[in-house]
A and B are shown apart, each in its own frame.
Chain A
Amino acid sequence: MTSTDREPAGRSHRDASTSYHIKTVPAPLLEIRDLSCTLSGRPILRNINLEVQEGETIVLLGRSGSGKTTLLKSVNGLIPPSSGTIHFEGRAATQWDPIQLRRRMGYVIQDAGLFPHWTVDANIGLVPRLQEWPPDRVAARTTELLQAVGLDPAEFRARFPRSLSGGQRQRVGIARALAADPPLLLFDEPFAALDPITRLDLQRLFLELRRSVRKTALFVTHDIREAIMLASRIALLKDGALDTVAEPSEFRAAETPEARAFLAGLEQNGESGEQDTA
């Protein structure tokens, strides 16, 4: 898998296994090429090209219906692409066993999607148990993760999701996604339903975790402020196509009408002091 080279851009990877070029740039963890997706005759994604390097946080920004969630779901095989390719860890998504592929991608959704009949402990240990870790290793990992997301293990591990606040549930959701140490994390508007103060707490937690565990992440949001705060690069989607891909500082100077529309929202609400903390 290390033989994948990146020059010239956009070349086919079908012959990657037979080429022996010396690698000068690290292969992207995730490489999306000419990805299109049509659901019941309606194009949802059009010709998406995106490379995600290890350690990056790519924020997929866009309005409702812009295709950002579909793009996220096509990465872990929840929605099959109509055309184009996705390579993860140098291997085409079509060559992955979808179950194994998904276990190498943590997944966090809006209302956490915790299993209501399992304790916090059992929820966090899900993927390690699926991967048949020994029980004591799962327990140690759970404790470590509860501390990492700011929940006291003694107090929280035996509780059921119903007895947690929205913010606590989402912390557990993040811990669960991190559990088996997956190389890629997928976030689908994880903080959208939280109150502003809790949201800020969790955004800070996200940045803190990114510094400590150095994970690669794809993060879907419609909130420009969240995008600027969390992203190493922002990928703005409009009607299923990539409109602008830029680092937050460059993004602020972007000229496309869609980018201007999002940036206008930023100016209207006044800027918080939270940007570019990463």
Chain B
Amino acid sequence: MNSELASEILSLSLEHLALVAITIGIAIAIALPAGVLLARRPGPRRWAVGFANIAQTIPSLALFGFLVPLPLIGGIGKRTAIVALCLYALLPILRNTLLGITGVDASVRESAVAMGMTARQILWQVELPLAAPSIVAGLRLATVATIGTATIAAAIGGGGLGVFIFRGISMVDTPTVLAGALPAAAMALVADGGLEWIERKISSF
């Protein structure tokens, strides 16, 4: 392997990582507060989860295509790619936040209220800590899926390891495809393992 290829793998990997990190950051910033708010509101909850479900069912290549012509969030490049990736990452985080919070034992919540905890204290000291393992599990799903889906970002000029894959496909050159696929797979495995470890760590009570 020549050093030119090695440095391209490294730089595209970092670009890929950046795409994933920004996506997951934005998805958490939206889905986690949304999950907390929606946990108490069964009506809007159905709509929000429905929307996230529908976003999930759109084939990813098509979703990238749909977004390109849109004003503001569309166009060619990273921004569009991140919007599309976020739409996919929202659902697992939102759903697991909701599951975690609504899954808190009724007697635990009842005694928290009856002992004179405020709604804010119940959220921070009881609901979120108890929901944390489930939230991290959602985060893990979202991260692993985003690492894979982010390879498609290259199709709309978003960069990342998908650049190798699309180049390899057009050149019918398997080693080039692998130069993108293998680092992406490794990244997914590391993320999966790391988040699983955190998940186990925080559910040890």
**A→B interface (CB under 8 Å):** 76, 78, 99-103, 105, 107, 109-118, 126-127, 130, 160, 162, 173, 176, 186
- Given A107-B111, A109-B111, A110-B107, the answer on whether A117 and B205 have CB atoms closer than 8 Å is yes
Q: A113 and B108: CB pair below 8 A?
A: yes
Residue of A111, A115, A126, A186 most packed against chain B (CB within 10 A): A115
Q: Is B12 positioned at the interface, with any CB of A under 8 Å from its CB? A: no
Q: Is B43 positioned at the interface, with any CB of A under 8 Å from its CB? A: no
Q: A109 and B107: CB pair below 8 A?
A: yes
Q: A103 and B115: CB pair below 8 A?
A: yes
Q: B130 and A126: CB pair below 8 A?
A: no
**B→A interface (CB under 8 Å):** 105, 107-108, 110-118, 121, 126, 129-130, 205
Main secondary structure of the interface of A (DSSP, over half): mixed
Quote the shortest CB–CB distance from B81 to chain A (angstroms). 38
Q: B111 and A116: CB pair below 8 A?
A: no
Chain B positions within 8 Å of A78 at CB level: 110, 113-114
Q: A102 and B108: CB pair below 8 A?
A: no
Q: A116 and B115: CB pair below 8 A?
A: no
Chain A positions within 8 Å of B110 at CB level: 78, 109, 113
- Given A109-B107, A110-B107, A113-B107, the answer on whether A127 and B205 have CB atoms closer than 8 Å is no
Quote the shortest CB–CB distance from A193 to chain B (angstroms). 11
Quote the shortest CB–CB distance from A210 to chain B (angstroms). 21
Q: B117 and A107: CB pair below 8 A?
A: no
The chain B residue sitting closest to A122, CB to CB, is: B125
The chain B residue sitting closest to A97, CB to CB, is: B116
- Choose from A112, A118, A127 the contact partner of B116 (Cβ within 8 Å): A127
Q: A99 and B130: CB pair below 8 A?
A: no
- Given A117-B129, A117-B130, A160-B205, the answer on whether A126 and B108 have CB atoms closer than 8 Å is no
The chain B residue sitting closest to A116, CB to CB, is: B205
Chain A positions within 8 Å of B113 at CB level: 78, 102
Chain A positions within 8 Å of B107 at CB level: 109-113
Chain B positions within 8 Å of A100 at CB level: 116
Quote the shortest CB–CB distance from A188 to chain B (angstroms). 9
The chain B residue sitting closest to A107, CB to CB, is: B114
Q: B111 and A103: CB pair below 8 A?
A: no
Chain B positions within 8 Å of A101 at CB level: 116
Cα–Cα distance between A130 and B130 once the two chains are bound (Å) = 19
Quote the shortest CB–CB distance from B144 to chain A (angstroms). 26
- Given A113-B107, A113-B110, A115-B108, the answer on whether A107 and B205 have CB atoms closer than 8 Å is no
The chain B residue sitting closest to A104, CB to CB, is: B116
Cα–Cα distance between A228 and B107 once the two chains are bound (Å) = 27
Quote the shortest CB–CB distance from B29 to chain A (angstroms). 25
Sample (19) of A-B pairs whose CB atoms are under 8 Å apart: A76-B114, A78-B110, A78-B113, A99-B118, A100-B116, A102-B113, A102-B115, A103-B115, A107-B111, A111-B107, A113-B110, A114-B111, A115-B108, A115-B130, A116-B105, A127-B116, A130-B116, A130-B117, A186-B114
Cα–Cα distance between A109 and B113 once the two chains are bound (Å) = 12
Q: A99 and B205: CB pair below 8 A?
A: no
Chain B positions within 8 Å of A186 at CB level: 114
Quote the shortest CB–CB distance from A70 to chain B (angstroms). 14
Chain B positions within 8 Å of A130 at CB level: 115-117, 121
Quote the shortest CB–CB distance from B204 to chain A (angstroms). 9
Q: B205 and A162: CB pair below 8 A?
A: yes
Chain A positions within 8 Å of B118 at CB level: 99
Chain A positions within 8 Å of B126 at CB level: 115
Chain A positions within 8 Å of B105 at CB level: 113, 116
The chain A residue sitting closest to B129, CB to CB, is: A117
Chain B positions within 8 Å of A176 at CB level: 115
Chain B positions within 8 Å of A112 at CB level: 107, 111
